[in-house]
Structure 1
Amino acid sequence: MNRPRTRPSVVPFIASWNSELPDLVAGLTIEYDPESRLAYKGLPLPTDRDLGGISSARMSHSPHVGKPIFDGVHPTRQRFCMFEMSCQVCGWPASRNKDG
């Protein structure tokens, strides 16, 4: 039986919005220090790499502007939740209770 799809009542904190645009692949270059790796052209941003040096996608930041993209993840907000152990739905610290 096909049920009609309903729109979620909550937009997850890590969801991207159609106003948030990723940087273009043309903005990438190869950096040689001491090994070759992908990097963004120009000055690096603090959000380009995590503490281990792993690169992250660049994306503009304008939450709650436009329409949510439920199957899209904003890389900076997701990284924040992962490192801060925060809830990916509300963005606040994860609960410490019998359920986890």
Structure 2
Amino acid sequence: LQHAAFACRDLPATCDQLADVARHALPIPANYYDDLLARFGGELDVGQLQRRQLLYDRDPQGGAFLHLYTRPFTAGRFFFELTERRAGYALYGAANAAVRLAAMQYC
């Protein structure tokens, strides 16, 4: 078992309510958020995502996926993921896998 994922109705609000989430969130490099800003411009509140260390993906139909990873536990092998799917997003955020893997190398 590598990780356990939990779905949330409002991931930013969940992060705000769970203080330990922020303390254990996987730090995401700032350039990830620069890339989001370049891709989505003003239609996305990138600052909100960055403050909470949230990752973001959008599918061609306009569905969106927000997700947060914790730092790994148990000798770097197990972590939690919190997710929120919007507007019928049915994928798994694979576009962010490389970002997560790179960030986990530095924990």
TM-score range normalised by the length of the shorter chain = under 0.3
Higher percent of residues as helix: 2
TM-score calculated relative to the size of structure 1: 0.24
